[in-house]
Structure formats: C-alpha cells, structure tokens
Amino acid sequence: MPVFVHFLAISCSPQRTFAPPNIQSSIVKYMKIAVAKGDGIGPEIMDSVLHIFQANQVPLEYEFVEMGKWVFDKGYSNGMTPEAQQTIENLSILFKGPMETPKGKGVKSVNVTARKTWNTYANKRAFQTLHGVDTVFSKAGIPIDLTIVRENIEDTYGGIEHMLTHDVALSRRFITRPGSLQVIKYAFEMASKNGARRITCGHKANIMKITDGLFLEVFYEVAKEYPHLKADDVIVDDLCMKLVSRPNEFDVVVLTNLQGDIVSDLCAGLIGGLGFAPSANIGDHICIFEAVHGTAPDIAGKNIANPTALLLSGIAMLRHLGLMENAAVIENALLYTLESGVHTGDFGDRSTQSVNTTQFADAIIANLGKQPAHLARPILPNKPITPTSFKLAENPLIMSKELENEIIVGVDMFIESSEQPLAVAEKCLLHTGDLFKLITIANRGTQVWPKGSSFTNLVNQYSCRFESIGDAAVTQTDIMELYKRLMKDFKICSTEILNMWGDKKAYSLAQGQ
C-alpha cells in the first residue's frame, strides 16, 4: 500500500508568511512542518537550505523544535523535549539536521530513537551520479542510479544487550514478519511507482537461516504481487563486491537494518560520500527527512560545510508532500550549480576556488529556473497533500495470522561454567528427568558435546539444549522445573524456549551439530 502522511490543519503565522510562489501551474496551500536544526554544522546547513526554499517560495511554514546533544545536556534522556515530541506528532513531518549523541552517558542515539519511536520503518536513500562530483565511476563513464531501502526499526538496532558472564556479551537480534512486511511492501510499491526494472533483497540467510531467512521469505511472498518487477536476492557480502565493481547493474535493493546501514554508506562512497546522500525515513503516520552525515564539530560555525545532502533530503521531502514543481526547480538549480563547477571545500576541482556554505546556497538561488545538461528533472505541477487531523488513541499492534498450532518441545539453557564440555554434560544429565533429553552443548554457537574438537577454544558460557522425549509437547512449568534442578550446579544466564509450528522446528542447529 502507498504511504500517505497526514497533516494537522493550520493557519499561517503572520511573522513567517511567505508570498505565494510565482508558479502559474500550481495552486498550493501552506503546510507546517517541524524543523530541528541539529548540532555542529547542522544550524548553518539548515539555514542555507531554508534560504533556498524561501527564494523558491516553497509554501511551507516551519516550527522549530528542540532536539540534539544540547537537549541531552539539559537532562532529557531521549534527546528531545516533550514539547518537541508533541509538535512532531501533531505535524507528521520532521526535517532535521545532523545530531550528536553524548558519549559515555548511557543514552541512546537521538537519531535512532526518533526513527523507532515514530515507527519510520523504511529508510530510503537514493544514490545517483552527480555531474561535477568526480568519482572513479563518473570518470569511467559508469552511471549510478540506485536506491537502498533499509529496514529501520528492528535487527540489532533494538539495542538489547546483556553481559551473560564477565567475558560474554549478548545482543538480541529481532526480525519480525510484520516489520519485514512493512518495509518490503514499501520497497516494492516505491519501485513499481518509480518505474524500476529490478528489486533485489540483500541478506545473510545462508548463515542466519531463521532471522534473515524470515526476511527473505517475506520478500518473495510480496514479490508475487508485483510480477512486472524482476525480483532476486544476493548474499550481502557478494552484494558489496558487486556494488563496488558493477553498481550500474542494481536498481532497488532492500535489506535488514544493520546490513542496510553498512551498504547504504558504501553506496554513498560510490557517488562522492555522505555529503551527497539524501535520507528519508518513511512511516505510516510520521516521516523524517535528514542528512545522515556527521555533525563535523571541527568545522562547525566556520560557514564552510557542504549542504548538498540536507538539500537533497529536503527535495525528497517536497516530493513526498506533493510539491513536485518546487522540488524539480530546486533540484535542477542544484544540478546546474554542480555542473558549473561551483563547490565547497570538501569536493570538486582543487584548482578552482571553493565557496563557503552561504555562497554555495546563493549560487543555487541564482540558478533557479535553469536546466542542467544532465539529468534535468521534469517540471510537474504541485499536488500538495490535503491537510487533515490524525491522532492515534493507542499503540498499533502489528501481527500476522498464526497458520499452524504452536507447541513447545524444549529449551536452550545458557549456563556459566569454566569446566570442560564433558563435565558440563555429566552434570546436565543428572537433571534431565523423565521429560527431557540433553541433545547438544555448544560454545559460541559451535557444538562441543556429544562430539566436537579439542581445538575449539571455549569461553565460560555454554548453551545446553534440552528437547522433549519424542518431540512431545512440554509446558513452561516443565521448563521451570528443569531450570530449578539445573540451578543446583550452574548459574543460568538466559533461556530460550524451543518452539515448533506444525512439523517445522523454529530454532537453529549448532555449528557442527
């Protein structure tokens, strides 16, 4: 399904009213969006982008909100004030500059928190050759035009971590069917709407057979609804190799969160760096458009930062809002400016004088209405989204239908021990009782009992798998009784129930099992 953003009906504030744009084909209404300038170079590049918007008479009003490191420093642990959160939830759109998370204070990234709090489940980053930004590929005449869609909520970005022993840390990786469906459905819908020829799923399902396997399974389920698109999959390491050698072969690529984060930065390097990489975080109710590069505190306040990534993100936001004409005029002016050789100090012809942030923005403004020689965007009429009021009374629950009955057939007990595998097994076997049998013992995912190798290095944490005899169903009470018996000999760090749906085991084997 297409993703629509809903707006609260507003009236223009007199002190921020701009004249209607001088665009004959467009009849537009003012819309208000939330703007967070960010940290470091954020305020100066945001001011430059908004200056360009004002010069093009973009029909937007801005409500500035408090987010970022300085808000953390004021005692707000999520990096935003309650007023900022309420404003963003009312207006549905956040346009933000880069933000810093304080180091060593036990707080989460404000960027990740914002994406997860408002369920902006799809991170879209479009990468395209920009004439005037020299890269290995532009010099070789190899055009790049690809889009990475990254799942934005789940995976290791849940940040759920524990120390199981003083030597062993655990991070939980969540991949869900509904979450995968949201982002993959968006990727296919976006690819279809934009006339893509191919959509590829990047994954590591050859190793992470259940988590990445679920993501890949959902990908091909959705692919059946889009027979006009070529859908295929590539193991993520192979994908990276192909992207740096033949990037022109790809069109749209969808990945899980961590893999998508890495691959999207790789793709930014193909077109000149993060300074040219726009980012849109898409949700059903709230969307965030931002530059994903750093805050560059070493050059903050010097008026020399490159605002291109934030401007491209803003252009994507304008299109999302239906302001197609404004977006095309501004993007054409940017492309014309880059083709003309105008550049900030971080890119471009070193034999020509670089310009500062303000001068770069002024050059774009001077070129409004001009057409670049390459990749000129068609001027389409504005079709702004009608402002509506939208409120959520409760948290949405996303859940698929359970197709087969679930039964519990065992448990993995993660125990702390510095003993050898045989000694651990002998103690475990004393406590299996009448319902369970000890199947395997693994250390760091590799089986070390009943068979293994003395060359396998051990840490002081084992996973002991107990399955029910004959795959009969057991209860959580049965598992708790086993837990209590094992406590006599071990510290139990964690447990995972072994489930089955129908005849399908919903748990992985140990390496070498």
Instruction: Read off the amino acid at residue 182.
Output: Q
Q: How far apart are CA 460 and CA 121, in angstroms?
A: 37
Residue 390 included in any domain: no
Residue that wins the pLDDT comparison between 18 and 512: 512
Residue 114 included in any domain: no
Q: How far apart are CA 320 and CA 352, in angstroms?
A: 36
Q: What is the pLDDT of residues 346-361, one digit of tens each?
A: 999 999 999 999 999 9
Residue 352 included in any domain: no
Residue 27 has pLDDT above 90, yes or no: no
Residue 238 included in any domain: yes
- Which pLDDT does position 16 carry in this prediction? 31
- Which pLDDT does position 401 carry in this prediction? 87
Q: Where do runs of H (alpha helix) occur along 118-205?
A: 136-139, 177-193
Mapping DSSP to helix (H, G, I), strand (E, B) and coil, where does residue 421 land? helix
Contacts of 219 (CB under 8 A, 6+ apart): 180, 184, 201, 231, 233, 254
Residue 3 has pLDDT above 70, yes or no: no
Q: What is the pLDDT of residues 95-117, one digit of tens each?
A: 999 998 777 656 778 888 899 99
Residue 480 included in any domain: yes
Helix (H) or strand (E) holding 161: strand 161-163
Residue 242 included in any domain: yes
Residue 165 included in any domain: yes
In the chain, the number of structural domains is: 2
* C-alpha neighbours within 13 Å on the C-beta side of residue 507: 20
Query: Count of residues for the chain?
Result: 513
Tell me which residue range forms the domain holding 459. 406-505
Q: Which of 376, 409, 391 has the alpha carbon at shortest distance from 286?
A: 391
Q: What is the pLDDT of residues 280-312, one digit of tens each?
A: 999 999 999 999 899 999 999 999 999 999 999
* Final residue in a domain of this structure, among 242, 265, 288: 265
- Which pLDDT does position 390 carry in this prediction? 65
Residue 340 included in any domain: no
Q: What is the pLDDT of residues 250-263, one digit of tens each?
A: 999 999 999 999 99
How far, CA to CA in Å, does 325 sit from each of 22, 56, 251, 399, 475? Answer: 11, 10, 25, 39, 62
Residue 5 has pLDDT above 50, yes or no: no
- Which pLDDT does position 106 carry in this prediction? 64
Q: How far apart are CA 450 and CA 197, in angstroms?
A: 51
* Final residue in a domain of this structure, among 265, 290, 320: 265
Q: How far apart are CA 288 and CA 421, in angstroms?
A: 51
- Which pLDDT does position 105 carry in this prediction? 59
**CATH classification of the domain holding 200:** 3.40.718.10
Q: What is the pLDDT of residues 115-140, one digit of tens each?
A: 999 999 999 999 999 999 999 999 99
* Final residue in a domain of this structure, among 265, 280, 296: 265
Residue 7 has pLDDT above 80, yes or no: no
Burial class (CB in 10 A: 0-12, 13-18, 19+), 140: exposed
- Which pLDDT does position 18 carry in this prediction? 32
Residue 20, preceding peptide bond in cis (omega within 30° of 0): no
Whole-prediction pTM: 0.89
